[in-house]
Structure 1
Amino acid sequence: MSTLTTQDTFNSILESAPKNFTELRSKGKAQYLSQGLPALKDEEYKFTPIRKKIEQTISRFELAKSFEVNALDVKAAIFAGFEGSVLVFTNGKFIPELSSYDTTLTVNEITDQPDLPLGSIAKAEKDPFVGLNQAGFQDGIAISLPKKSKIEKPVLLLSFYKSNEGQVIQPRIWIEAGDFAEASFIDLSVSMDDSPYFVNKVVEIKGGVNSQLNYYRLQNEGKHVIEVSNTETDIREHSRFTSVNVSLSGDMVRNNLNLNLIGSNSEGNMYGLYLLNGKTHVDNHTNVDHTIPHAESNELYKGILADQSRGVFNGKIFVRQDAQKTNAFQQNNNILLSEDAIVNTKPQLEIWADDVKCSHGCTTGQLDEEALFYLRARGIDKTQAKGLLLYAFAGEVLEHIGDESFREYCIALVGDRLGSKF
């Protein structure tokens, strides 16, 4: 397979991009060309050889086109008990005829919204993949919640993916909530076949004052999928944002999650679970930026790794000089079930204020033998006891999923994995 150069990669994507958002695309192009695809020498990607993986896997570095799905495909993909809005996408393109949603929401294709401030939250200079998406995204969606709106039932972002000989898919999502608005979003992707493809996704979330937003995400796609996602949000005064990310499958996955606490009495919550086996590689990079006094952030990521899987966690908390009275907490815990499984973890605090409460930490080890002995002494066999301990470990993250149907769906997936594999 031929090796890709930065210039060739960019040009092939740009050729298929619409001729709109000219200034935005130009900035994305400049940033991407100045950085190129990251290699292991780049500090932010030192444990994740994604450039090599892309070059080895993607045979046609061009944008994959939309394809047809039907109502039966949509019905089959929706988990039991779900009630709410459904927005359907194929390879990043919004399919309105298969979607149904609360009329309080305003939903438009991004290509029909030339005045959207795309790139104002997720900036191309932060990550080369943001620049690549910004320069070459083809389709996307803009969701708007009016002031004081309360969307009682969750909004399911249901993405179907299929590629021809390994192509690139670049979804783009913009979510804007007015003051005092409340909503929950569930991001769920479905692989239509077992072919390899590369997803490069950017999600920007702009919350208003006193807004309450939740963003839940499940990654359970094909074993040959390469995926990079950049999710970034601005959290304003008296607002709360909660993210829960559950990663179960894929070839190589990189999740960049950035919370910008730009209002007093704001709260940002980040929870993640990666349950990996085979040779799956998942890299979670998070960033919380405290810029204003009287704000709080909470972060808990947990990993269970078996076989030759690899997990990476790099969490950064910045507390700026003016951000007095900050509360910031971060924890990463991992259980290794194989001598060949690897975790690289690096929780970080950078504090420039002096009146704060901040903590961070990480643990990596095996199952608690005393707890395992305790359960076995009460008549529980080893396999079941092991599964119970692992389930309890994972459940601390899953309990932060507010929607009951999605939480039960994730619990069932995790339970099946723990019961059958471990």
Structure 2
Amino acid sequence: MTTTTNNNILDSILSQVPSGSSFSDLRESSSNFLEKKGLPAIKEEEYKFTSITKKLENSISDFSFAKKSDLNSETVESHVFDAFEGDLLVFNNGSFEKDLSKISNHGYTLSLISDAKPELLGKIAKTEKDPFVALNNIAFEDGVYLKVPKNQKVEKPILLLFLNQSNEGQVIHSRILIEVEDNAAVTFLEDSVSLDDKTYFSNMVTEIKVGQNSQVHYNRLQNESKNTITVNNTETDIHRDAVFTSVLVSLSGDMVRNNLSLNLLDSGCEGNMYGLYLLNGKTHVDNHTNVDHTKPHAQSNELYKGVLADSSRGVFNGKIFVRQDAQKTNAFQQNNNILLSEDAIVNTKPQLEIWADDVKCSHGCTTGQLDEEALFYLRARGLGKEQARGMLLYAFTGEVMDHISDEAFQNHIVNIVQNRLGSNF
């Protein structure tokens, strides 16, 4: 049975969905699910370290959907990182802004989900996987459907720029659906920006299908205001001989929950997940990952690293499932953390569930402080304390940033990280 808080939030969301709107079947099934399941309670295992529902109750006073902000091309350009070359898709409080975007359509097609109505919607990110997927199913107004046809290589990256702001409401629901057909390749960059410091709740769902022998790189930067509450659900279906690589860098926010799932559906496919969380203040970031090996001769690689200062908190929960038919699986998972303050906390839980008997799988985690001997070595050679510390921390974080596939985006993130490390957070 749902709590009073759950009911208040859900009633407010449901009251804003117009009757007879698009995606009625998906909305109805999701409504039924949430009426029984509700939003995550404190005692729920998957959310026991991240009380999103309580945070929403305490921080959001208006659960109305945020209206579009007054944007112009100058505002958009000011939030595009330097040296970017590629197509730009602009989202204004979750709504696609075609007139402010720059779209070449070289190698792909783009439409609103309501216009294309692909059957994939809600089939990759299933309602029962997470209550916030169901909430997005009910509440999102529309979304973008991006398709890369067979044998196409999109030469330049596609930047998804989300400009968010509390505006006559504090709730934003974004929806992205990506279909990459066989023998294709594409790189996505995602950047979420807060236009001011006002509190809002962003609930986003991204569904990605990676066709046979295709390659998809998805690079994401989270650097919103200190008052942002965010839930991201990204779900991928990866087919035979395909490669999907995710790089996620989380730098700011109030409470952030990232759910990333890779479904390895055939032989020869590969899933890579790299994450960095560099936290200070009271920022709370929770990364929940899931890799499902269902067929033989597939591999996955996962490396998440965290640096936590002040009273920040990090959570890592990584699950790898190896099904009985998934012989010859090769799976690696590692989570490493450095705590720079006695008040910083990290909860880490790498997990393996293996039903096959001919596999190579490993997982592990470490949590500690900076190496005092290495720090002494650098200081003995003329470096100041902060410079030496920054150098060691950058060496620790660089292993993740090296996997960012676009050079300009990588340089942008590296500059932000270096400035943070050099300024003692």
SS of 2:150 mapped into structure 1: coil
The answer for the alignment partner of 2:311 in structure 1 is: 308
**In the alignment, residue 120 of structure 2 is paired with which amino acid?**
P
Please, which moves more after superposition, 103-112 or 388-397? 103-112
Native 8 Å contact 2:296 2:328 kept in 1: yes
SS of 2:74 mapped into structure 1: helix
Could you list the structure 1 runs, at least 4 aligned residues long, displaced by more than 6 angstroms after superposition: none
Partners of 2:67 and 2:134 lie apart in 1 by 20
Partners of 1:181 and 1:257 lie apart in 2 by 22
The answer for the alignment partner of 1:10 in structure 2 is: 10
| 1:228 corresponds to 2:242 | no
Residue 113 of structure 1: how far off its partner (Å) = 2.7
The answer for the alignment partner of 1:365 in structure 2 is: 368
Residue 116 of structure 1: how far off its partner (Å) = 3.6
Partners of 1:351 and 1:330 lie apart in 2 by 14
Match among 374, 381, 384 for residue 381 of structure 1 = 384
**In the alignment, residue 11 of structure 1 is paired with which amino acid?**
D
| 1:195 corresponds to 2:195 | no
Cα deviations by residue, 1:238-285 (Å, 9 ceiling, x for unpaired): 100000000000000000000000011000000000000000000000
| 1:109 corresponds to 2:97 | no
**In the alignment, residue 57 of structure 2 is paired with which amino acid?**
E
Partners of 1:77 and 1:17 lie apart in 2 by 31
SS of 2:423 mapped into structure 1: helix
| 1:42 corresponds to 2:63 | no
Match among 125, 128, 136 for residue 122 of structure 1 = 125
The answer for the alignment partner of 1:158 in structure 2 is: 161
SS of 1:5 mapped into structure 2: helix
Partners of 2:52 and 2:8 lie apart in 1 by 17
Native 8 Å contact 2:172 2:202 kept in 1: yes
Residue 114 of structure 1: how far off its partner (Å) = 2.9
| 1:244 corresponds to 2:241 | no
Residue 167 of structure 1: how far off its partner (Å) = 1.3
- Superposition TM-score, scaled by structure 1 size: 0.97
**In the alignment, residue 198 of structure 1 is paired with which amino acid?**
F
The answer for the alignment partner of 1:275 in structure 2 is: 278
Cα deviations by residue, 1:191-244 (Å, 9 ceiling, x for unpaired): 111100000100000111111001111000011000000000001001000000
| 1:211 corresponds to 2:214 | yes
Please, which moves more after superposition, 86-95 or 18-27? 18-27
Native 8 Å contact 1:85 1:153 kept in 2: yes
| 1:284 corresponds to 2:287 | yes
**In the alignment, residue 63 of structure 1 is paired with which amino acid?**
F
The answer for the alignment partner of 1:27 in structure 2 is: 29
Cα deviations by residue, 1:277-335 (Å, 9 ceiling, x for unpaired): 00000000000000000000000000000000000000000000000000000000000
SS of 1:248 mapped into structure 2: strand
**In the alignment, residue 160 of structure 2 is paired with which amino acid?**
L
Partners of 1:10 and 1:48 lie apart in 2 by 19
The answer for the alignment partner of 1:413 in structure 2 is: 416
Residue 12 of structure 1: how far off its partner (Å) = 2.3
Match among 254, 265, 269 for residue 257 of structure 2 = 254
The answer for the alignment partner of 1:171 in structure 2 is: 174
**In the alignment, residue 227 of structure 2 is paired with which amino acid?**
H
Aligned runs of 1:128-143 on 2, under 5 Å? 128-143=131-146
Structure 1 regions of 5+ residues with no counterpart?
none
Residue 421 of structure 1: how far off its partner (Å) = 2.1
Cα deviations by residue, 1:341-379 (Å, 9 ceiling, x for unpaired): 000000000000000000000000000111111111211
Native 8 Å contact 2:69 2:167 kept in 1: no
Partners of 1:13 and 1:211 lie apart in 2 by 38
**In the alignment, residue 28 of structure 1 is paired with which amino acid?**
S
| 1:148 corresponds to 2:151 | yes
SS of 1:363 mapped into structure 2: strand
Partners of 1:138 and 1:39 lie apart in 2 by 26
| 1:341 corresponds to 2:344 | yes
SS of 1:405 mapped into structure 2: helix
Alignment RMSD: 1.2
Native 8 Å contact 2:174 2:203 kept in 1: yes
Cα deviations by residue, 1:10-61 (Å, 9 ceiling, x for unpaired): 2322333351111111111112222211122000001111111000011111
Partners of 1:73 and 1:239 lie apart in 2 by 38
Partners of 1:165 and 1:393 lie apart in 2 by 42
Residue 140 of structure 1: how far off its partner (Å) = 1.2
Partners of 1:113 and 1:67 lie apart in 2 by 26
SS of 1:314 mapped into structure 2: strand
Structure 2 regions of 5+ residues with no counterpart?
none
Native 8 Å contact 2:87 2:157 kept in 1: yes
Native 8 Å contact 1:24 1:134 kept in 2: yes
Please, which moves more after superposition, 128-137 or 28-37? 28-37
Aligned runs of 1:81-100 on 2, under 5 Å? 81-100=83-102
The answer for the alignment partner of 1:393 in structure 2 is: 396
Native 8 Å contact 1:16 1:138 kept in 2: no
Residue 166 of structure 1: how far off its partner (Å) = 5.5
Native 8 Å contact 1:317 1:349 kept in 2: yes
Partners of 1:163 and 1:380 lie apart in 2 by 44
Partners of 2:278 and 2:248 lie apart in 1 by 11
Partners of 1:225 and 1:319 lie apart in 2 by 36
Please, which moves more after superposition, 30-39 or 288-297? 30-39
| 1:326 corresponds to 2:329 | yes
Native 8 Å contact 1:58 1:165 kept in 2: no
Q: Count the aligned residue pairs.
A: 420
SS of 2:413 mapped into structure 1: helix
The answer for the alignment partner of 1:68 in structure 2 is: 70
Partners of 2:149 and 2:117 lie apart in 1 by 19
SS of 1:219 mapped into structure 2: strand
